[in-house]
Amino acid sequence: MKIKLDYGRTGLEVNLPDDRVIGPLSIRPALPLSDPDAAILHALNHPIGTPALADLARGKKDACIVVCDITRPVPNSRILPPILRILEEQGIPREKIVILNATGLHRPNEGAEMVELVGEFVATHYRCENHFGKRLEEHTYLGTTPNGVPAWIDSRYVNADLKITTGLIEPHLMAGYSGGRKLICPGIAALETVRVWHGPRFLEHPKADCGSVAGNPVHEENTRIALMAGCDFIMNVCIDGSRQMTWVGAGDM
């Protein structure tokens, strides 16, 4: 039996023995947002646990916006323009805004990949830069957690007057769920941080599992590190199997 898997850009066709295939499993379809742009604006203006983004941005001299790298299908081309517009309306100069690609220890995304990541307009008109986790000199040491993880975070974020993260919430194999605090650790953390946090001492814990948050040391530790770095505002989304937005939320990390 030939089955086509959703893999890469074109899919992957595999040929399996007929007697080994019970049948395909499909998830219950989610209901996409009827007006995602309106939902984004509502989240920015009515966040959870923080003032509206416009109020936070007022009086700030610069900003760093962290985005997921190419491994996460975040609709950045839809999310970023209203965020950027608010920052500029509140007096932050465009040249003082950096969009930081949270590669963790992944390779950088440049050229056409950066355009795909943030959209052509943002890639053309704004500073879009990659995080390099192996360049320790580009990170700031924030201390060591009680569990012994040294917190080294990208200095462009640490030194920013306004710190914003965006992301995608979906089940994660070890951290419970993606999004939120993961944009900071491991997203913009140095190798020296990731090699401990992502090491066997945390990953072998029975609660370091998909969909598990309570008592999950991987989740708890990267949340602790993210709080050490600080975050003024987050925007996270959920998407369906067709990458349509089903939910958007913003506010306190």
Q: Which residues are catalytic?
A: 106, 172
Tokens representing 19 are 């007697």
Closest of 9, 132, 128 to residue 80, by C-alpha: 128
- Please state, in angstroms and rounded to a whole number, the distance separating the CA atoms of residues 78 and 235: 12
DSSP state of 106: S
Coil/strand/helix, residue 130: strand
Assess contact for 6 and 27: CB atoms under 8 A: no
Handedness of CA 46, 47, 50, 52 (dihedral sign): negative
Assess contact for 60 and 89: CB atoms under 8 A: no
**Which residues lie closer than 8 Å to 81 by C-beta, 6 or more apart?**
119, 121, 122
